Structure 1
Amino acid sequence: MREFVVEADGGSRGNPGPAGYGAAVIDPKTGETLAEAAEYIGVATNNVAEYKGLIAGLRAAKALDPDASVRVRMDSKLVVEQMSGRWKIKHPDMKPLAAEAARILPASQVTYEWIPREKNKHADRLANEAMDAGKKGRQWEPSRSTAALDALDAKAARVVGDAAAGAAKTRAALAGRGPAGEAVAGEAFAEPSVAEAEAAEPSVGWGPADLGTPATFVLLRHGETPLTPEKRFSGSGGTDPSLSPAGMRQAEAVAAALAARGTVQEIVSSPLKRCRETAETVATRLGLDVRIDEGLREADFGAWEGLTFAEVQERYADDLSAWLASTKVEPTGGGESFATVARRVAATRDRLTARYAGRTVLLVTHVTPIKTLVRLALGAPPESLFRMELSAASISAVAYYSDGTASVRLLNDTSHLR
């Protein structure tokens, strides 16, 4: 029985927006590209384009040999997990596409494997070629040879890797610049283009290490609850309030903004209701599923839950003063100290960066976990928690590289709410 590798990808410039897919059938023994397919499909979401790429790749493999075994390699965790049967298919747009893909070849002939985006450059290039052609009103046509373009991809990866490694070693010299580019709000969690990578010139003495694509955490604070405007303590030990009408509007606004940016690939949420509601609103817009992680819950404020700062000061003045003086002090009644929360959040960060290496993940969580992630990324002292502003439904972003370097790319962006 012959063996094929199908590499497939899809993209949308806007999510939803102008979209296209690319797929390649490869001989795993020789590395030879046996067939390529790409197409501009009009306005669609990332996930629809990913599925279209899968369908095109499977059809191309079947045309070459309907009896061959096929190993599908994609950087879409959603498609890989759904087609492998490990995740349920909830979105109505995905169900017919998954069914169509499943009918092309017998399930016994096809296996699925997730790969990082940087290892899916061939299919990604084809998808972008298709979108570029569609923008000009043309159909996709093969461009330069695969070997030449793959060499270009490798060169770009080396340059970006060199720049990232150098930045990790020379932070003081590059103040204000993240390992993969300028930390400007509009591009805070975008990846560098190939053109940008080619233009980058590594400085003398920078090593050849390639740190690859970082795990990027887009940190979203939940929308308002009835307690938010009154500035009441609202943690894990309180009433678990839902979003207010204003909070729901904020969630819709941030969902639209994230869809326009089109970079989020996964969504992970705190188990508390206000975060789950915010996350589900975004997930519906992006066509993604929400994974719950206990490590993202807010601190437990003990007896202070539901009280304003003034009320706590009136009833528990000494305890409040001690809490403000040290992150190791718990709130009255057995709540969590900030030091305890920091250990929990750090463990969650390490687990999620390992799971989502090379991915852009939306973490829907609370004030304390977000401030803690930013503080740890900056190496700032614990008291810096009291010196950050974090509005409801605000977006922050931190990128984590394979050598442990962290780059804060955005903090408290609320432009989507204005």
Structure 2
Amino acid sequence: MTRALLVEADGGSRGNPGPAGYGAVVKDADTGQVLAETAAYIGTATNNVAEYRGLIAGLRAAYALSPEARVRVRMDSKLVVEQMSGRWKIKHPDMRPLAMEAQQIYPAGAVRFEWMPRERNKHADRLANEAMDAGRRGEEWQPSGPPTLEPSALGERPALEEPPALTEPPVAEVARGWGPSTGTPTTLLLLRHGETPFTAEKRFSGSGGPDPELTDTGQAQAASAAGALTGAGIGAVVSSPLRRCRQTAEAVAARLGLDVRIEPGLRETDFGSWEGLTFEEIGQRHPADLRAWLSSADAAPTGGGESFAAVARRVAVARDKTLARFPGRTVLAVTHVTPVKTLVRLALGAPPSAMFRMELSPAALSEVGYYADGNATVRRFNDTAHLGLTPR
């Protein structure tokens, strides 16, 4: 039987725009059991942005529990409920990428939205305020206790008021693009690991096969990256758990005097039975599966591998955790081809097919700035100047 989950989400801004945060709780829709809580301080943002960020975090938490679930979302934001239900147009440019991100977490038709009065959304509201309080103290939000049973979650569902057909509440304008600054962004410097034996032979090397070390060339590339990043204002280093990334990250972190934080969500795609094979060999052994993989982000490699869609979901979670942990700072993220391309694609709002149009060299640097209003800017991609190379 398909599982039924209830997501209650909220977000707030003390100033609109001002210091903002979100909170979300996932419950079993049948019993009211609290299954997960999530919250984060997001820096300076509007109420609307914070509410959308709460929705996204809640849906991601639900997806982590059950990707096949039927989900009911309840929020006291009429704007978000009406826009996500398709009854109001999304006119503000800052809301569109957030709405699109929320829509892509579950398949179409799996999520429905309901409005509820603010006084019935106390759990998510409390989490959002806890996150804002933690942010004011310079801390990261932490859960206050174990999941509980909330029978009130099973109460009568509030009726959704009929909205005006072509109007929506005013949205606070947030400067973007060429306009005034929208606050200090959190910057992710994305560094692909150095060369391994599989890199040189152009073999698929993911998280489901061997865990190769850097070659001598790869170690030299890591050292060059470390030299180039000295003085870049990096405040933290995070890395995929795979050996080639840890070795690259440790070379840079040692130069900067920083520790390396392991982020499992930054690992490479699991390529299933394709691990260790070249593109030509896969085409010979699994031609139909390869064609499907090249044409759909939902197709997975042969033998239980991960689809690009699945990788994008976990990479987005890793991104959001990192942004919440290091707001307004520059963070070096040492990872792999697919996660780097995915983060760039998501920042650009590009379709999954764009992944096949990006070339990323070993030890290349890319850079994305993330603003509290939900916008992102790609500042560079496949930069190999520190290696003495010109990207092809």
Q: Distance in 2 between matches of 1:282 and 1:369?
A: 19
Aligned to 2:270: 300
Assess, with a 3 A threshold, how the Cα gap between structure 1 residues 314 and 289 changes in structure 2: closer, same or farther.
same
8 A contact 2:364–2:384 mirrored in 1: yes
- The yes-or-no answer on 1:167 pairing with 2:214 is no
Aligned length: 220
**Mapping for residues 19-418 of structure 1, pairs under 5 Å:** 114=138, 165-168=174-177, 174=178, 202=180, 211-259=182-230, 261-418=231-388
Assess, with a 3 A threshold, how the Cα gap between structure 1 residues 334 and 115 changes in structure 2: closer, same or farther.
closer
Q: Distance in 2 between matches of 1:385 and 1:267?
A: 25
Q: Distance in 1 between matches of 2:311 and 2:364?
A: 21
Q: Distance in 2 between matches of 1:365 and 1:282?
A: 13
- CA deviations 1:107-162 (Å, max 9, x no partner) are xxxxxx7589xxxxxxxxxxxxxxxxxxxxxxxxxxxxxxxxxxxxxxxxxxxxxx
TM-aligned CA deviation for residue 305 of structure 1? 0.2
Taking only aligned residues, the RMSD between alpha carbons, in angstroms, comes to 1.8
Aligned to 2:157: none
Determine which structure has more spread, i.e. the larger CA radius of gyration: 1
Query: What are structure 1's unaligned runs of at least 5 residues?
Result: 1-112, 117-163, 169-173, 180-201, 203-209
8 A contact 2:223–2:252 mirrored in 1: yes
| Equivalent position amino acid for 2:384 in 1 | T
| Equivalent position amino acid for 1:276 in 2 | R
Q: Distance in 2 between matches of 1:351 and 1:273?
A: 22
- CA deviations 1:58-98 (Å, max 9, x no partner) are xxxxxxxxxxxxxxxxxxxxxxxxxxxxxxxxxxxxxxxxx
Q: Distance in 2 between matches of 1:338 and 1:273?
A: 22
- CA deviations 1:213-235 (Å, max 9, x no partner) are 11100000000001101110000
TM-score by length of 2: 0.54
| Equivalent position amino acid for 2:176 in 1 | A
SS at match of 1:212: coil
8 A contact 2:225–2:252 mirrored in 1: yes
TM-aligned CA deviation for residue 212 of structure 1? 2.1
- CA deviations 1:7-55 (Å, max 9, x no partner) are xxxxxxxxxxxxxxxxxxxxxxxxxxxxxxxxxxxxxxxxxxxxxxxxx
More helix by share: 1
Q: Distance in 2 between matches of 1:211 and 1:268?
A: 26
| Equivalent position amino acid for 1:366 in 2 | H
Q: Distance in 1 between matches of 2:338 and 2:309?
A: 11
Q: Which runs of 4+ in 1 moved over 4 A?
A: 113-116
TM-aligned CA deviation for residue 167 of structure 1? 2.2
Query: What are structure 2's unaligned runs of at least 5 residues?
Result: 1-136, 141-172
- CA deviations 1:366-398 (Å, max 9, x no partner) are 000000000000000110000001100000000
Q: Distance in 1 between matches of 2:243 and 2:282?
A: 24
SS at match of 1:411: strand
| Equivalent position amino acid for 1:306 in 2 | G
| Equivalent position amino acid for 2:213 in 1 | S
SS at match of 2:234: coil
| Equivalent position amino acid for 1:368 in 2 | T
| Equivalent position amino acid for 1:258 in 2 | L
8 A contact 2:175–2:182 mirrored in 1: no
- CA deviations 1:333-366 (Å, max 9, x no partner) are 0000000001111111111111110010000000
